[in-house]
Structure 1
Amino acid sequence: MPGSPYPQSEIGKIVDRAVAEGDADRALRWAQELKQVGLHRALALTLVLGRQDDVRYPRAASRFLLRLIAEVEPSLLNLKKIVDALDVVGRVRLMPDVTEGANAALEDLGRQLREREEGLQR
Structure 2
Amino acid sequence: MPDMDTALKEIMEIDGCIGVALVDHTSGMALGTLGGGKELDLTVAAAGNTDVVRAKLRAMEMLNLSEKIEDILITLDTQYHMIRPLTSRSGKGLFLYVALRRDRANLAMSRHRLRSIENDLDV
Per the normalisation by structure 2, the TM-score is 0.29
Higher relative contact order (CA 8 A, sep 6+): 2
Q: Where is the helix percentage greater, Structure 1 or Structure 2?
A: 1
Larger-gyration structure (1/2): 1
Q: Where is the strand percentage greater, Structure 1 or Structure 2?
A: 2
Per the normalisation by structure 1, the TM-score is 0.29
